[in-house]
């Protein structure tokens, strides 16, 4: 039937579909060579693999993509390579969030110029804006950035929690199409859905509770686990969304160790180590992060094995 907009402008749901599809949207790593140069050929292969394996969308240049350590030229190269390989088959969402609103708008315009479908914008971190300032911040970006905006709330990294009421206020803006909620608070799923309507994208940023999040009415996960097990993550979330609970639980049980062990050190340290063990990327990771503690490598290998992921030379 006709889209239920619940007071949102007609056609707003089309933005959500263009920006984020339900299911598994991978928070993609940025492959780097051993000398920490962005490895564009490895990136292109990784993106093609995600399309082939059924990832529902690509979220690039976020925390997992080490965006804060990349220059604008490097960002442009990552976006262009991703967009070219994807060739319209799935949405490409680009992380553009930082503290200063003008810089976010510039990053959004830059991402749009290079072919992004939407932007993922984290709340300003470290400075702890009050809720009314968050409304102002995101309204400016939605007005001026030129792209559909996915809000990103991750209080554990930012020091500020954007409340469901604030998110609902922003959801009225035709260019604000969804939210990535990384609070880990599953009671928010129904609250966000009730406040923001069916056509607003409600995505989890927590792999370990993603199945429950979707079962409770969420649309999907912006996933770190999908970096290494994209097909299984897609299948698990599709089952959860369709109410095939037993199948979702069986698949999620195989992914559970990855959900946990990919966070043994700060993301994306373990995810990059896993992809290196799989032979998909080199070992590069930029300061202020560093390579995985070698003592933890067996736990990464164990998690990959539990998920049925092939390790090179194993």
Kindly report the CA angle at 263 between 204 and 158, in degrees rounded to 5? Answer: 60
From 50, 131, 116, 36, select the one nearest 83 (Cα to Cα). Answer: 116
* Calpha distance 263→224 (Å, rounded): 9
Residue of 113, 125, 128, 180 marked catalytic = 180
Is 232 catalytic? The answer is: no
Is 180 catalytic? The answer is: yes
Residue of 112, 152, 232, 272 marked catalytic = 152
**What residues are annotated to the active site?**
152, 180
């Amino acid at each position: 039937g006709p889209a239920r907009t619940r007071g949102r402008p007609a056609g707003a749901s089309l933005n959500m579909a263009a920006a984020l599809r339900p299911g598994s949207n991978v928070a993609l790593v940025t492959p780097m060579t051993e000398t920490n140069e962005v490895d564009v050929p490895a990136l292109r292969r990784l993106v093609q693999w995600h399309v082939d394996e059924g990832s529902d969308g690509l979220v690039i240049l976020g925390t997992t993509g080490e965006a804060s350590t990349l220059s604008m030229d490097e960002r442009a190269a990552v976006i262009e390579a991703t967009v070219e390989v994807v060739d319209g088959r799935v949405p490409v969402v680009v992380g553009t969030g930082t503290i200063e609103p003008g810089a976010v708008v510039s990053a959004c315009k830059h991402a749009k110029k290079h072919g992004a479908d939407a932007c993922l914008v984290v709340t300003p971190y470290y400075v702890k804006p009050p809720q009314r300032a968050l409304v102002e911040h995101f309204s400016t970006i939605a007005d001026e950035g030129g792209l559909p905006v996915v809000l990103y709330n991750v209080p554990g990294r930012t020091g500020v929690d954007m409340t469901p009421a604030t998110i609902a206020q922003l959801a009225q803006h035709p260019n604000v199409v969804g939210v990535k909620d990384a609070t880990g608070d599953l009671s928010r799923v129904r609250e966000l859905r009730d406040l923001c309507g069916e056509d607003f994208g409600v995505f989890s940023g927590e792999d370990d509770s993603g199945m429950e999040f979707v079962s409770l009415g969420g649309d999907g996960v912006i996933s770190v686990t999908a970096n290494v097990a994209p097909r299984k993550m897609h299948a698990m979330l599709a089952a959860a969304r369709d109410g095939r609970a037993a199948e979702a639980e069986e698949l999620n049980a195989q992914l559970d160790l990855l959900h946990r062990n990919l966070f043994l050190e700060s993301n994306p340290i373990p995810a990059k180590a896993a992809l290196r063990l799989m032979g998909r990327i080199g070992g590069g990771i930029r300061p202020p992060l560093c390579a995985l503690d070698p003592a933890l490598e067996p736990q990464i290998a164990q998690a990959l094995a539990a998920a049925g992921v092939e390790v090179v030379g194993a």
